[in-house]
């Protein structure tokens, strides 16, 4: 299940909310049927960023041509991972959504997958046998996931884990243009040289939708968008050239400024930026699919 940002105009003071409202960390702010009682209450909610769950039938996670990522299953060995590839471990049932990043050391078909032991601030974390995880990873233009448990914790000749070998792995082939819902603060340099504060609300490897309080430019203007993402537990700062393809204002409550939506197409991405952007977009898309 994916999430969609709620606009200020959709929050009506004194009227029961038609959906449960979440913040950008997917924590509940207001249950369905709850009432925003005052302007102050509404302002406090909007400042935190408010979202609602989006049913699969409404999902915009697809390509500009209407295609959706292809979901399938395969055997782990068919993925053709390389030694040293990064894998993400998430504790099953972990309410805090804590994720660890480890490296693939090797695998024995049907027996176990060997990975490095997670670390935090340079210190090896304590893992226990029988601990259950969801594993996620990237390969080519696909992202994969499977459930596993720690079958063996070893410290010789270095800390590593044996994970139970999955019967099947779920894969998602992400097509060019697939859009992931995000909430990223960005700085946009307009064609006039001025800098604008904006928010990225969806993102693909080929373009994005961003919102701002005022128009950033006119159709076909060239922009430069700067924002931060986290990939494989590492902060990456991207500067992406883009072309402004659409500008339109959304409805707002009386007395408030409307949000202005801007559709942009990325242009002439440097290879290094493209690799980081693809990894981030694929990860978000897969996690949205897993939650659905």
Same domain, 163 and 78: yes
Q: Where residue 189 sits, what CATH number does that domain have? A: 2.40.10.220
**Of all residues in the chain, what percent carry a pLDDT higher than 70?**
80
Q: Which residues contact 154 (CB under 8 A, 6 or more apart)?
A: 160, 161, 162
Residue 63 included in any domain: no
Residue 216 included in any domain: yes
Same domain, 143 and 75: yes
Residue 65 included in any domain: no
Identify which has the larger pLDDT, 131 or 35. 131
Same domain, 159 and 238: no
For the cut 80, the answer to whether the pLDDT of residue 33 exceeds it is no
- Whether residue 108 contacts residue 49, with contact meaning beta carbons closer than 8 Å, is answered with no
236 SS3 class: strand
161 SS3 class: strand
**pLDDT, average across residues 165-173:** 84
* Number of domains the chain contains: 3
Handedness of CA 37, 6, 55, 279 (dihedral sign): negative
Q: Report the mean per-residue pLDDT for the chain.
A: 80
- Whether residue 135 contacts residue 87, with contact meaning beta carbons closer than 8 Å, is answered with yes
User: Which of 238-252, 260-274, 278-292 is the least confident region?
Assistant: 278-292
What pLDDT was estimated at residue 140? 66
Name the pLDDT band for 289 (thresholds 50, 70, 90). Answer: low
Q: Sheet containing 51-54: which strands, arranged edge to edge? A: 2-5, 51-54, 21-22, 28-30
Same domain, 168 and 193: no
Same domain, 201 and 135: no
Same domain, 91 and 116: yes
Residue 64 included in any domain: no
Domain boundary (58, 86, 106) is at: 58
What pLDDT was estimated at residue 137? 81
Residue 242 included in any domain: yes
Same domain, 186 and 279: yes
For the cut 60, the answer to whether the pLDDT of residue 129 exceeds it is yes
Residue 186 included in any domain: yes
Cα torsion for 282, 288, 290, 291, to the nearest 10°?
A: 160
Taking the C-alpha atoms of residue 158 and residue 56, their distance in angstroms, rounded to an integer, is 44
Identify which has the larger pLDDT, 24 or 163. 163
Alpha helices of the chain — where are they, by DSSP H? Answer: 39-48, 271-291
What pLDDT was estimated at residue 280? 84
Taking the C-alpha atoms of residue 287 and residue 137, their distance in angstroms, rounded to an integer, is 11
User: Which of 31-45, 65-79, 177-191 is the least confident region?
Assistant: 65-79
Overall size of the chain counted in residues: 292
Separation in Å, CA 206 to CA 62, 237, 252: 13, 17, 29
Taking the C-alpha atoms of residue 180 and residue 3, their distance in angstroms, rounded to an integer, is 10
- Whether residue 51 contacts residue 6, with contact meaning beta carbons closer than 8 Å, is answered with yes
Other beta carbons within 10 angstroms of residue 158's beta carbon come to 10
Taking the C-alpha atoms of residue 53 and residue 28, their distance in angstroms, rounded to an integer, is 11
Alpha helices of 138-188 — where are they, by DSSP H? Answer: none
CA neighbours within 13 Å on the CB side: how many for 31? 1
Taking the C-alpha atoms of residue 119 and residue 122, their distance in angstroms, rounded to an integer, is 6
Token representation of residue 201: 């609300």
Name the pLDDT band for 40 (thresholds 50, 70, 90). Answer: confident
Same domain, 184 and 280: yes
5 SS3 class: strand
Measured CA angle at 64 (ends 60, 67), to 5 deg: 70
Residue 249 included in any domain: yes
Domain limits for position 109: 70-173
Same domain, 159 and 244: no
Q: Where residue 99 sits, what CATH number does that domain have? A: 2.30.110.10
CA of residue 191 relative to chain centroid, distance: 29
For the cut 90, the answer to whether the pLDDT of residue 178 exceeds it is no
Q: Which of 221, 261, 272 is nearest to 242 (CA)?
A: 221
């Amino acid at each position: 299940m994916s999430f969609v940002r709620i606009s200020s105009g959709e929050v009506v003071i004194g009227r029961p909310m038609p959906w449960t409202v979440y913040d950008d960390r997917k924590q509940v702010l207001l249950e369905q049927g709850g009432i925003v009682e005052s302007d102050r209450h509404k302002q406090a909610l909007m400042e935190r960023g408010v979202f609602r769950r989006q049913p699969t039938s409404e999902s915009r996670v697809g390509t500009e041509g209407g295609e959706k990522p292809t979901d399938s299953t395969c055997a782990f060995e068919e993925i053709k991972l390389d030694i040293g590839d990064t894998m993400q471990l998430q504790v099953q049932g972990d309410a805090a959504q804590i994720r660890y990043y480890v490296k693939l050391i090797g695998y024995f078909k049907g027996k176990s997958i060997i990975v490095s032991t997670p670390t935090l601030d340079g210190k090896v974390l304590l893992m226990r046998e029988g601990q259950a995880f969801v594993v996620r990873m990237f390969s080519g233009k696909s992202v994969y996931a499977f459930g596993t448990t720690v079958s063996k914790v070893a410290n010789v000749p270095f800390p590593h884990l044996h994970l139970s070998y999955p019967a099947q792995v779920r894969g998602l082939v992400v097509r060019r243009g697939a859009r992931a819902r995000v909430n990223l603060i960005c700085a946009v340099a307009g064609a006039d040289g001025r800098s604008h504060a904006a928010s990225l609300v969806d993102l693909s490897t080929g373009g994005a939708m961003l919102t701002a309080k005022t128009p950033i430019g006119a159709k076909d203007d060239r922009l430069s968008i700067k924002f931060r993402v986290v990939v494989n537990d590492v902060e990456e700062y991207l500067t992406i050239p883009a072309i402004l393809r659409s500008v339109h204002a959304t409805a707002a409550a009386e007395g408030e400024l409307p949000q202005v939506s801007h559709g942009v197409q990325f242009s002439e991405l440097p290879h290094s930026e493209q690799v980081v952007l693809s990894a981030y977009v694929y990860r978000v898309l897969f996690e949205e699919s897993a939650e659905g």
